Amino acid sequence: MLFEVRNLRVHYDKVAALKGVSITIAERELIALLGSNGAGKTTLLRTISGLKPPSSGEIWFDGRRVDGCPPHEIVNLGIAHVPEGRRVFPYMTVFENLKMGTFRRKDRQQISKDYETVYEHFPRLKERRAQYAISLSGGEQQMLATARALMARPRLLLMDEPSLGLSPIMCQEITSIMTEIQKTLGVSILLVEQNAQLALELCDRAYILKTGKIALQGRPQQLKNNHEMKKAYLGM
């Protein structure tokens, strides 16, 4: 098992955002994390990437315990996080943004090759590589944020609502990119999505989070057939 969260509890001051969450992610798996706003999805991602320390529980990655590690160490270990809202560096060029993704890497030759690979998969970024990130469209910024995370050569990619604010066409692009990442690059993905339809199409398994706890989990087919789930959580 590549990645595992065991009974994670996270508090903001006295308020519990996660009340004992456990999930697993295997190699090359795309796991979806669904749920309404405020359920705790983003919190889980932020705790995994080290931005927020957990109150209790364990996070295991590649046989090592990583809960409580600071963000820069988490990146070192092979987990990259594409945060909610893209969060590209606005006054830095596309290239500089990508370069930041390689911050912790030391293998220069491979890094140069990786730029090429990224430009192949994201031709639009190659076009705009000398432009300030702030001048990119929403979709392009999403690609940039994703590419930036990929430049860190992660084994696990955390993606927080990549489809937010994107046109249907861009959503398609992002979806196909995610599939590529999973299948071709062999990177596992933990995908947080509001857009349940989209997520269920893509994922191998899904977890449904409700007010800080896992309410349901299973394969997309199972979940789609679950009426209760359809109504309450997916709005279908």
Partner 1 sequence: MGEFAQIVINGLIIGLSYVMLSLGITLTFSIRRVINIAHADIYMLGGFMAYFGSQFGINYFLVLMAALVVLGCLGAVLDTLLFRRVRDKGPAGPMVLSLGLMYLIEGVALLAFGEKVKGVPSVFKGVIHIGSISFGVERLIVMGISLLLITGLFLFLGRVKWGQAMRALAQDPEAAYLQGIDINRMSMLCFALGFSLAGAAGVLLTPLFYVGYAVGSTLIFKCFMVLVIGGLGSVLGCLVGGLLLGLIEAFVVAYVPGQLAVLIMFALILVILLVRPQGLMGRGELT
Q: Which residues bind to partner 1, rule: CB under 8 A?
A: 49-51, 70-72, 75-76, 80-81, 83, 87-92, 96, 99-101, 103-104, 148-149, 152
Residues 6+ apart with CB under 8 A from 12: none
Nearer Cβ to partner 1, position 99 or 224? 99
Q: 104 near 152, Cβ under 8 Å?
A: yes
Nearer Cβ to partner 1, position 2 or 77? 77
CB of 235 to partner 1, least distance (A): 30
Q: What are phi and psi of 107, to 5 degrees?
A: -85, 90
Alpha helix ranges (H) inside 122-230? 123-127, 138-150, 168-183, 196-202, 220-225, 227-229
Q: 205 near 218, Cβ under 8 Å?
A: yes
From CA 208, how far away is CA 178, in angstroms rounded? 20
Q: 149 near 157, Cβ under 8 Å?
A: yes
Nearer Cβ to partner 1, position 76 or 226? 76
Q: What H or E segment, with its residue span, contains residue 219?
A: none
CB of 104 to partner 1, least distance (A): 4
Give strand pairing partners of 192.
33, 160
Nearer Cβ to partner 1, position 88 or 177? 88
Best CA proximity match to 77, nearest among 153, 174, 168: 153
CB of 93 to partner 1, least distance (A): 10
**Measuring CA to CA, how many Å separate 199 from each of 23, 203, 204, 208?**
17, 6, 10, 11
CB of 130 to partner 1, least distance (A): 13
Nearer Cβ to partner 1, position 12 or 103? 103
Nearer Cβ to partner 1, position 111 or 171? 111
CB of 114 to partner 1, least distance (A): 14
CB of 87 to partner 1, least distance (A): 4
